[in-house]
Structure 1
Amino acid sequence: MTSTDSADPLSQPPHPHPSSNGRGAPPRRRGEGLRIALLYNLAQNAPALGGDAPADALDELDTQKNVEAYAAALRAAGHTVFPMEGDVSLAARLRRLRVDVAFNTCEGYVGDSREAQVPALLEMLGIPYTAAAVLGLSLTLDKAMTKRVLAYHGLPTPRFQEFFTADDPLDPTLRFPLFIKPNREGTGKGITGKSIVNSQAELRHYVGYLLKHYRQSVLVEEYIDGRDLTCGLVGNLATAALNAPIPLDALRSKDGVGVDYAGVHFFPISEVDYTVYEPGTEPVYSNRLKVELADRYRGLCPAPLAEDVAVEIRRLTLETFRRTQSVDVCRVDFRLDRQSGPHAQPQILEINSLPGLTPISDLTLCAEAEGWSHADLIVAVMNAAIGRHRLTPKANGKAAGRATRAAQVAPGPVVESSFQPSLSAPSSVSAGDFHVSHSQSRFARQS
């Protein structure tokens, strides 16, 4: 496939049904699809845990039912799918199968860069894959390092400190209350009601607990008492937009839901609705809320936000996406300070460059809020990677060696925002009329 400015495969969002709307990857008839390795890590296949492992140690890993849902979506799009565990035997199996591309959902079992292990192997084998590459996944798994990158680029994120021992001196510029969580985990692992601390004694007690049981550094940041919001996108920036200023008017929603801009599609912004939980429930999106109380979850989607705040959240999502070298798909989590009014400056908490894609993951629920199905989301992620790698459906096992990594998201200049935090109330803000929820509590609501 040749590439020109007028036919840039990244110039339009990878909508799942291009034949109906003229956008995204070319439509594929059955029999013309790609050979796809569907890679996953199942909780049931995890290595044996030590006696001091926390109860939520496996909550980020997948289930067989989720894998079947991914496979069904890809097969329905005309692809041949080979599901396989992303373990130490993966290289030999991939050599035998000669696949065109991998759909990667592997979280990894152990290691400081566990999410990047399978992508590194795929690169050694010359196999293109979905979602962020080795550097992006290594960076974004490390919350403290991600915040350093965000701060370097002038993007708003709560002030923080990384703890390596419970006795590390506390940065005197940090102000209580503080919020504590493991530095390299997802799905709310290690986040409980005890994560919010108001004294040095509480701080050191919980930091010590996390260091012992999670065996990694601990992130301590200033706690924002406010609203939990998340914004997801799928696609890749068109080449011409990689380093171009972002026109803020282009990020305004015309219908209150999703927004298309320069090759990416923003899903509606979602907010955690804490009113569905019992009084006294921790005011944070904890592991307990994501797993044990998953059947109680309700999101306000689209979130009831002033449009200038929604635009700022989309801008920050896109900036975080490209600063961290994420591709194809991501979800960025925010807090909005309740005390600063409806026009408060959104604060970036973290980015999920390998976001959960299960039928009840946050990103899926955001997509469903504008009429997408779970299968639509899976196919859109796949189409984003197909366009980025410039794969063709006739590759059939030979494309892996020929595929070039095209139009990677590269660092660009920080875009100046016209967003002005204000304490004045918006002229009209109404609650989102779409509530997303799910009743399958046996599944973790993976981040």
Structure 2
Amino acid sequence: MHIAILYNRDHELLEDDPGREAREDVTRVASALSEALSHGDVHAEPLAVEGAGLEFVDLLARMQPDLVINLCESVAADARGEMVIPCLLDMLGLPYTGSPALSLGLALHKDKAKELLKARGVSTPGFARLDRVEDVATLELPFPLIVKPAREDASVGITSDSVVHDRASLGRAVEAVLRTFHQPALVEQFIPGREIYVPLLGNHPRRALPLTEIRFGKLFEDRPNIVTYAAKWESNSPDYQNTPTAPCLLEDAALEARLVRTAMDAFAALECQDYGRVDLRVTPEGVPYVIDINPNCDLHPEAGFAKAARAAGLDYSALATRLVEIALERAHAHGHPTARRKGPGAPRLPDPSNRNVLAGRNGSRDRARRARASAE
């Protein structure tokens, strides 16, 4: 079996990149997965997406791998390019791991994801999207609030100043997001309580891996308990050293079931697939709130998802193999279009996930040229 591991190599593209460490991490994940999967008749080959070009598309078309492991989290150091990759893979007719373009796009447009969660009855903090600093004056959400970029993930843009308690500090936090990231600011009600992560694996059935929790250390005794960018990516920082991830120990089975159900509902609302993680804030009264949905979450061997898999009895090699199996099971389940009745009133076939739109693009262009020539 030939597997292509597609990943973004764009962490050195921008001189001033507030998400550089997160983008660099994916290179290590690609290497780890290649090593874990390449044995026997399986060859897992990393393939970098570099710069703003799409040369990898033609390369994949020539390679025709049996599966693409999609690790791309950005294109040209822009996280908004993440959803482009599944679109191109669908057009090439190549099966791939993880969620489709729509799910990735919704998860990245956090205000849209929250609108959908709210419509589905999934609990999420009250929120507003602010496009201008002037909008702060008319915001009607109770303090405290947390301010974050509306189009980023991996805690990009979150600092100790992101939690605000008055309108003046809210204005400063919103202005910082608008100036630094050139995108709207998402303002949410800040939920005091525990931060618990629910890792999800599979489709039919889908199961939750053992839950994990952020343990906030002494540094956070007089600070808001939030996972900043430094806490996630800067290993020498006090934030990082005071926010270890640990198994979540819940004595209340009903509460655990409620957390898992909330995470499952959120994952399904965005039509995510294969694997991912849902981040919750849980109040002292046991009320869960979805604060983030992470399709295609970090698969580094020492990241939370792999640790949760180990707690469930899956070492890294077994986890990598299982992710391949899940993606192939899904692709084969969709299958290929079969013969159907044609003519008026005939039902339309469902769109297969591996439809190859690009296969006939040259022919389409030729027909278009002939049509123009005959018209002239």
Q: TM-score range by the shorter chain?
A: 0.7 to 0.9
Structure with greater proportional helix content: 2
- Tell whether the 8 Å contact from 2:73 to 2:79 is kept in structure 1 after alignment: no
1:47 to 3, 13, 28: 13
The structure-2 alpha-carbon separation of the partners of 1:302 and 1:76, relative to structure 1 and needing over 3 Å to count, comes to farther
Deviation at 1:108, TM superposition (A): 1.2
SS at the partner of 1:335?
strand
Question: Matched residues in 2 for 1:224 and 1:148: separation?
Answer: 18
1:405 aligns to 2:353 (yes or no): yes
Question: Matched residues in 2 for 1:64 and 1:111: separation?
Answer: 16
Query: What is the aligned partner in structure 2 of residue 59 from structure 1?
Result: 22
Identity of aligned residues (%): 26
Deviation at 1:72, TM superposition (A): 1.4
Deviates more, 1:153-162 or 1:379-388: 379-388
Question: Matched residues in 1 for 2:266 and 2:229: separation?
Answer: 24
- Tell whether the 8 Å contact from 2:26 to 2:71 is kept in structure 1 after alignment: no
The structure-2 alpha-carbon separation of the partners of 1:59 and 1:282, relative to structure 1 and needing over 3 Å to count, comes to farther
1:284 to 222, 226, 237: 226
Query: What is the aligned partner in structure 2 of residue 378 from structure 1?
Result: 320
Query: What is the aligned partner in structure 2 of residue 420 from structure 1?
Result: none
1:337 to 263, 283, 288: 283
The structure-2 alpha-carbon separation of the partners of 1:35 and 1:216, relative to structure 1 and needing over 3 Å to count, comes to same
Equivalent positions of 1:58-207 (< 5 A) are: 58-76=21-39, 78-87=41-50, 88-109=54-75, 110-111=77-78, 113-169=80-136, 172-207=139-174
SS at the partner of 1:193?
coil
- Structure with more contact order per residue of length (Cα contacts < 8 Å, sep ≥ 6): 1
1:368 aligns to 2:344 (yes or no): no
Deviation at 1:81, TM superposition (A): 1.6
Q: 1:37 corresponds to which letter in structure 2?
A: A
The structure-2 alpha-carbon separation of the partners of 1:85 and 1:375, relative to structure 1 and needing over 3 Å to count, comes to same
SS at the partner of 1:202?
helix
Deviates more, 1:327-336 or 1:382-391: 382-391
The structure-2 alpha-carbon separation of the partners of 1:103 and 1:154, relative to structure 1 and needing over 3 Å to count, comes to same
Question: Matched residues in 2 for 1:168 and 1:128: separation?
Answer: 44
Deviation at 1:383, TM superposition (A): 1.2
Deviates more, 1:89-98 or 1:53-62: 53-62
Unaligned runs of 5+ in 2: 334-350, 355-376
Query: What is the aligned partner in structure 1 of residue 269 from structure 2?
Result: 323
Query: What is the aligned partner in structure 1 of residue 367 from structure 2?
Result: none
Query: What is the aligned partner in structure 1 of residue 341 from structure 2?
Result: none
TM score, norm. by length of structure 1: 0.69
Unaligned runs of 5+ in 1: 1-33, 238-262, 392-402, 407-447
TM score, norm. by length of structure 2: 0.81
Query: What is the aligned partner in structure 1 of residue 346 from structure 2?
Result: none
Q: 2:259 corresponds to which letter in structure 1?
A: I
Question: Matched residues in 2 for 1:70 and 1:236: separation?
Answer: 21
- Tell whether the 8 Å contact from 1:113 to 1:141 is kept in structure 2 after alignment: yes
Question: Matched residues in 2 for 1:374 and 1:276: separation?
Answer: 32
- Tell whether the 8 Å contact from 1:36 to 1:82 is kept in structure 2 after alignment: yes
Aligned residue pairs total 330
Q: 2:187 corresponds to which letter in structure 1?
A: V
The structure-2 alpha-carbon separation of the partners of 1:73 and 1:367, relative to structure 1 and needing over 3 Å to count, comes to same
Aligned-residue Cα RMSD (Å) equals 2.3
Question: Matched residues in 1 for 2:228 and 2:61: separation?
Answer: 40
SS at the partner of 2:6?
strand
SS at the partner of 2:142?
coil
